Structure 1
Amino acid sequence: MAAQMSEAGKRPHAGQAVRLLDIPAKRAHGAFDHLHHLDDGRAFADHLKSEVTRHHGHLGPAFIERLVREERDLAGEVDRFAQVPGFATSRVLQGRAAKVLALKGLAGELAAEYGLVGWESGEAMAAAVEAFQAWAGGQGGVRSEHEQILANLSGFIERHGDARFSSVDGDPAHTPMVRDRAGWWRDDAEGRTYLFSGEGLGEALGGFDPKRGTEALEQAGWIVERDTGARSVRVRINGTRRRVYAIRPAESEEGPA
């Protein structure tokens, strides 16, 4: 999905990544681990296509017929399976993906219990867990938009903190020229605060809307100074009052995705 969207000049949002899961499909023989009695992956794929053409429409109605008579709390079962080892995660977006795959795993387990398929109990859920882990590994954890914003800004400071910022208290006559200035910095007992210009912050957010970006920064506690009713503050810099965003990243918010 990300590749398709990038061709159109768009960036996928985190929520989209858990609605359309990109799961790596490379296995021992193309998309398959076992070829059974066939010679190669292509022969097996052709065989599957032929058999599906012959038999599609048999299993679905039989499954639904049993499912509508089901008296167990299947929604509760999905929630329970989504918390088992292999699915369990503290990340909200990963949790949504785990729940989707747990639902698919439960459907496979029910099909086996109903005697409609040939696989053993436990196989469907194990496959769902494997798919989830493959997806999560390929996604690098799938950051929420909030996490992406904080990571974008932290990365910007790491890359450009020495080159595109200078001390707010520095003497302009003795301060090296800053090209493409993104803002200034100020040190105090709490650490270093970066005073982003509006343009600098827009660039650092990496494409996120400024309003959404400053909401995330506020929620994270990274905006450390502001004027009443605003997320920015007016600061006197080199004799001129400028409106800037006073941001101090917290290391605790920059954990791995």
Structure 2
Amino acid sequence: MRNFVALDDYRLNHKKPPEPETVLGEKGIFTLKPDGVFYAAFSSDGQPQTERRICSPLQVLGETRSVSSDSWGRMLEWKDGDGKTHKWAMPVELLAGDGLEVIRTLMSGGLHIATGKSKQVVDYINTCKAVSRITCTNKTGWHGGAYVTSNTVYGEDAGEYVYQGSLINTAIGQRGTLAEWKGQVSACAAGNSRAVFAISAAFAASLVRLAGIESGGFQYTGESKDGKTTVVKMAASVFGVPDDYKRLWRTTSNALEGTALMHNDGFLILDELKMCSSKEVGDVAYNLTNGQEKARSTKAGGMRELRTWKLLYFSTGEISLPDYVASGGGKTFAGQEVRHADIPSNAGTGFKVMDTIHGFKDLPAFFAHINTTINRNYGTAGDAWLQRIATDRASIEATIGDSLTTIKAELLPDNSNTQHDVVATRFALVALAGEMATQYGITGWNDGEATGAAKRCFNDWLEGFGAGNREDTKILQAVTAFIERNGAKFQDLTLISPNAIPDLVGYSRMAASGREYLVLASQFERICDGYSRKQVVPVLVAAGILQTATSKPERIPDGVKKVYVLRLQDDSHE
């Protein structure tokens, strides 16, 4: 691991880069000295005048550019008043115009700039010609053999990459030691399935790309004040300041693109589902896992290159995603529910989200202890984790597939389907990551702790999701619900003198097995309620509700008409 990069001789010989020699500008001479950068303007006869200090020491360590040789920039380094070193991959486009954004950023980072000398500082940066070339990226996550965050690069290729972008995750940071985090935060999670699973998910996020699986998420769903937020803050402490790292669902689909890019190959926490509109939340969750921003045109009229991401997210809510969407008049599809796995937050042992409170007098005391310790110990576990997986990337990629297959076989029931398989793969990745972090000496848990938590949470998810095909179940529910809501739009054929019905959908009559509904062929899409005829017909046939896959002629009082005959059992209305 190395915090950003410097010159080639720094990478090769581990020496501090030499101070630049005097730089000749168009209107004067810049000189970097131990006590600052000095500028001597040329007089009318071309001779340098008395030099003046324009800022505290500021080095240009190298030039940055993307893999495609665009997005050029400069790597700047300086120290603030406390002696802390700052490094910034400055996009060179910020030097256009008056360069005030550059000055604001430097001053915000503690660089002292003499009054009235901002223009000279911008000219100095623009004039320095560094020979070092560094590959920059505006996206965090995996790049070759390096793992890039907005402030640190890990791995064997760390010296080749630098983050250069406006999306900075300021919540990433460290406080305390790994031993303290392990002994005070991770230890409280041990024995608690929901806490162990959430923390393991934080580690698993950076393995999604290596595993070659889709992005996805989990949600702890349960009553207010049951400890859901405390548990996800424990997971947030893996990488940074818990209250800051945790984000709220108060967002739109467009705004979430920037958040997703900031967490590429990483872990995102979204607290309080109801803070997002019930009419938007389904699209937000789908776009989050879809992993690609909307197509947008450039000012020149072309199409901007689409930015993509991979991630795992963790959500909390008092109501599940499908129920919340339904409360706003919408509906979810099985694909959304597979991407967003709802897990009941109550562990079922009388301690709400917890299985055990480790000897504390009561649950509030345990929660108070956790909230105190996570604010004193954070970030060190994630730093240790990224160092190890960046070093071990090749071996992880070579074995992760087989490892997931083994764990998934332990999770899946005998009657599982492809939807169960997709979700089980994500749960297996969480289990694997938790076990790896334990083997790396990061968690302090016993072997098998993370796997046991994943199994418990998967079984609780499966119980709510159902054993059958979720899409088929939702289609049956949609058709049945339509008929129940719109019974008045079916003319009852058992009446001697039926009344004319506006907005007619079909007819109904009693049969030995229950009431039959004769849906006019021209109206069939209405009962599909958002699904296609091709999706609905095979499901209804398989369920025994529809006798034939095609419409057939039926004689009714108005003559012969083509209808689909649906035979609903009495228990269809329960």
Q: TM-score, normalised by structure 2?
A: 0.35
- Describe the SS at the equivalent of 1:184: strand
Q: Does 1:52 align with 2:375?
A: no
Judged with a 3 Å threshold, the aligned counterparts in structure 2 of structure 1 residues 235 and 107 are, in CA distance, closer, same or farther, namely: same
Counterpart among 330, 335, 339 of residue 10 in structure 1: 330
Checking the alignment, whether the CA contact within 8 Å between 2:491 and 2:498 is kept in structure 1 is no
- Describe the SS at the equivalent of 1:58: helix
Checking the alignment, whether the CA contact within 8 Å between 1:136 and 1:142 is kept in structure 2 is no
Q: Does 1:183 align with 2:507?
A: yes
Stretch moving more, 123-132 or 27-36: 27-36
- Which ranges of structure 2 fall in alignment gaps of 5 or more residues? 1-320
The residue number in structure 2 matching 1:217 is 540
Once the two structures are superposed, what CA deviation does each residue of 1:128-185 show, in whole Å capped at 9, x if it has no partner? 0011112223335575222322344456778999x95645xx6x6x367697774235
Judged with a 3 Å threshold, the aligned counterparts in structure 2 of structure 1 residues 98 and 34 are, in CA distance, closer, same or farther, namely: same
- Determine the C-alpha separation between the residues in 2 that align with 1:45 and 1:143: 40
Q: Please tell me the residue identity of whatever aligns with 1:75.
A: G
Checking the alignment, whether the CA contact within 8 Å between 2:381 and 2:442 is kept in structure 1 is no
- Determine the C-alpha separation between the residues in 2 that align with 1:53 and 1:76: 30
- Determine the C-alpha separation between the residues in 2 that align with 1:191 and 1:9: 30
Once the two structures are superposed, what CA deviation does each residue of 1:24-61 show, in whole Å capped at 9, x if it has no partner? 22345454334458732133134224312455422232
* Identity across the alignment (%): 24
Q: Please tell me the residue identity of whatever aligns with 1:90.
A: N
Checking the alignment, whether the CA contact within 8 Å between 1:149 and 1:213 is kept in structure 2 is yes
Using CA pairs under 8 Å that are at least 6 residues apart, name the structure with larger relative contact order, 1 or 2: 1
Count, aligned residues: 242
The residue number in structure 1 matching 2:430 is 104
Counterpart among 364, 369, 382 of residue 43 in structure 1: 369
Checking the alignment, whether the CA contact within 8 Å between 1:30 and 1:41 is kept in structure 2 is no
Q: Does 1:87 align with 2:409?
A: no
- Determine the C-alpha separation between the residues in 1 that align with 2:544 and 2:374: 55
Checking the alignment, whether the CA contact within 8 Å between 1:63 and 1:111 is kept in structure 2 is no
Checking the alignment, whether the CA contact within 8 Å between 1:166 and 1:178 is kept in structure 2 is no
Checking the alignment, whether the CA contact within 8 Å between 1:193 and 1:247 is kept in structure 2 is yes
Checking the alignment, whether the CA contact within 8 Å between 1:182 and 1:199 is kept in structure 2 is no
- Determine the C-alpha separation between the residues in 2 that align with 1:46 and 1:140: 39
RMSD value, Cα: 4.1
Deviation at 1:250, TM superposition (A): 9.2
- Determine the C-alpha separation between the residues in 2 that align with 1:87 and 1:35: 30
Once the two structures are superposed, what CA deviation does each residue of 1:184-213 show, in whole Å capped at 9, x if it has no partner? 35869x998642235875564455344532
Where is the helix percentage greater, Structure 1 or Structure 2?
Answer: 1
Q: Please tell me the residue identity of whatever aligns with 1:88.
A: P
- Equivalent positions of 1:135-214 (< 5 A) are 135-141=461-467, 143-153=469-479, 164=490, 166=492, 174=496, 182-185=506-509, 194-198=517-521, 201-202=524-525, 204-214=527-537
Checking the alignment, whether the CA contact within 8 Å between 1:182 and 1:201 is kept in structure 2 is no
Judged with a 3 Å threshold, the aligned counterparts in structure 2 of structure 1 residues 96 and 47 are, in CA distance, closer, same or farther, namely: same
Q: Does 1:21 align with 2:346?
A: no
Q: TM-score, normalised by structure 1?
A: 0.70
Counterpart among 559, 564, 572 of residue 240 in structure 1: 559
Checking the alignment, whether the CA contact within 8 Å between 1:87 and 1:129 is kept in structure 2 is no
Once the two structures are superposed, what CA deviation does each residue of 1:1-32 show, in whole Å capped at 9, x if it has no partner? 22442354321111211211121223454543
- Determine the C-alpha separation between the residues in 2 that align with 1:31 and 1:192: 45
Q: Please tell me the residue identity of whatever aligns with 1:99.
A: T
- Determine the C-alpha separation between the residues in 1 that align with 2:516 and 2:345: 46
- Determine the C-alpha separation between the residues in 2 that align with 1:107 and 1:53: 17
Q: Please tell me the residue identity of whatever aligns with 1:12.
A: T
Judged with a 3 Å threshold, the aligned counterparts in structure 2 of structure 1 residues 9 and 207 are, in CA distance, closer, same or farther, namely: same
Counterpart among 348, 355, 360 of residue 33 in structure 1: 355
Checking the alignment, whether the CA contact within 8 Å between 1:88 and 1:95 is kept in structure 2 is no
Judged with a 3 Å threshold, the aligned counterparts in structure 2 of structure 1 residues 37 and 182 are, in CA distance, closer, same or farther, namely: same
Q: Please tell me the residue identity of whatever aligns with 1:197.
A: L
Once the two structures are superposed, what CA deviation does each residue of 1:215-252 show, in whole Å capped at 9, x if it has no partner? 533566754346xxxx323333125122311335699x
- Which structure has the larger Rg? 2
Q: Please tell me the residue identity of whatever aligns with 2:413.
A: A
- Describe the SS at the equivalent of 1:241: strand
- Determine the C-alpha separation between the residues in 1 that align with 2:339 and 2:425: 11
- Determine the C-alpha separation between the residues in 1 that align with 2:377 and 2:325: 35
Checking the alignment, whether the CA contact within 8 Å between 1:66 and 1:114 is kept in structure 2 is no
Checking the alignment, whether the CA contact within 8 Å between 2:519 and 2:565 is kept in structure 1 is yes
Judged with a 3 Å threshold, the aligned counterparts in structure 2 of structure 1 residues 238 and 37 are, in CA distance, closer, same or farther, namely: closer
Q: Please tell me the residue identity of whatever aligns with 1:133.
A: N
